Amino acid sequence: MFPKSLRRLLILTVAIVAVLEWSVVLDRVCAALWAWCKFVGYGGGGHVVVGRNTQEAFFLLSVLLATVGYFLSKAEMGSSSRVWSSVAQLGWLAIVVCVIFWSAFLATPFISFHP
């Protein structure tokens, strides 16, 4: 598929993006909970506004990156070092769990959408 050095660079990229993705999602969740605690009951407050296009791009790129990470983990299974396979698997699983968590949070009243 890819040379070993390129595969490992892509694995590191997937793992780093997974960490960054979780940090952004957790930041937005904390902001939404803070807005709710601070502004609930003040007429329309208590939520965070997110853009539909941004959410579509987030989901599309997350699925793409998780798919790449999945195939990279499968490609590394036969390698002598199980560390790279584990990092790839952890990366794509973290992205999938993050997307599921964010999807569930988008369904709450803490979030409102704008085009």
Per-residue confidence at 78, pLDDT binned at 50, 70, 90?
confident
Instruction: State residue 37's pLDDT score.
Output: 85
Closest CA to 64 of 108, 21, 32, 33: 21
Instruction: State residue 110's pLDDT score.
Output: 85
- Per the domain annotation, does 11 fall within a domain? yes
Three-class secondary structure of residue 48 per DSSP: strand
- Per the domain annotation, does 64 fall within a domain? yes
Closest CA to 99 of 50, 73, 64, 62: 62
- Per the domain annotation, does 91 fall within a domain? yes
Q: Domain of 11?
A: 4-109
- Per the domain annotation, does 45 fall within a domain? yes
Instruction: For residue 48, count CB atoms less than 10 angstroms from its CB and return exposed for 0-12, middle for 13-18, buried for 19 or more.
Output: middle
Q: What is the pLDDT of residues 17-67, one digit of tens each?
A: 999 999 999 999 998 888 888 877 776 667 788 899 999 999 999 999 999
- Per the domain annotation, does 32 fall within a domain? yes
Count: domains in the chain: 1
- Per the domain annotation, does 20 fall within a domain? yes
- Per the domain annotation, does 8 fall within a domain? yes
- Per the domain annotation, does 114 fall within a domain? no
